[in-house]
Amino acid sequence: MKYLISIAYDGSKFYGFQRLHGHESVQKKVEDALSVIAKEKIETKGAGRTDRGVHASDQKVTFKLDINIDEEHLKLALNSLVAPYIYIRDVKTVPDDFHPRFNVLRKEYIYKINLGEFNPLLYDYMFEPNYELDIEKMKECAKIFLGVHNFKNFTSGERANYECIIYNIEFNKHNNILEIKFIGKSFYRYMVRNLVGAMLDVSNKKATLDDIKKALEHPEIKRQFKTAIPSGLYLTKIEYEDLV
């Protein structure tokens, strides 16, 4: 039987999502728990990777089990083994040909910024700048990223294709916490953090809106912008066409 689970986790407690030899990762913790339940080695596939320090409330993972266990009992068993910094929110069965990455309809990320007084209790969970932000300029920058673009200048590492689509970028402020929500089909390594970093550079007058446009229009010319710290980033939703 093939299962799809939704996972929430505190990224500050792990070396990222992906299995990494010699380090505690979310994937390793979940696989170790599944292996205990199944009494054999179980490997999982994730919908994507989150870096060290990045959090999630809806990471998706698939795996196969040869034991007879229903969704609710599997959820209870898993949560008893992965607590306290990981929580399995949902368990459901899916067809054998379902793929957690290739079948994605859209993903949502939120980047959180504390606009108020520095709070050490928030340090691992949001960006706390020691300067005032020009949010209107950041919104202007965000509009440039909408639609289909080549995001090579906003992605870390080498890949065959840097093109993807961003459907929407929303700004919401509540009690001195600014949340920037990114909605798109897919996001590449460091991409959301680099987009936020570019907005911060525009806010700080270290880059212009024209610089951002040129970075998208001419990906062959390398341009470097700020990379926002990982602690403010949350993977908040992954949707699948047949599972919405």
**Whether residue 97 lies in the annotated active site:** no
How many Å apart are CA 148 and CA 164, to the nearest integer?
Answer: 6
What is the DSSP track for 11-30? GGGSS-SS-BTTB--HHHHH
Q: Amino acid identity, residue 161?
A: N
Q: Which two tokens stand for residue 237?
A: 């939703």
Helix (H, G, I), strand (E, B) or coil at 147: strand
How many Å apart are CA 168 and CA 198, to the nearest integer?
Answer: 17
Give the single-character DSSP code of 231. Answer: G
Give the active site residue among 32, 51, 124, 134: 51
Question: Which residue do the tokens 């728990």 mark?
Answer: 33
Cβ distance 150 to 162 under 8 Å? Answer: yes
- Residue 244 exposure: Cα atoms within 13 Å on the Cβ side: 9
Beta bridge partners of 107: 184, 238
Helix (H, G, I), strand (E, B) or coil at 240: strand
Beta bridge partners of 171: 180
How many Å apart are CA 177 and CA 166, to the nearest integer?
Answer: 23
Residues serving a catalytic function are 51
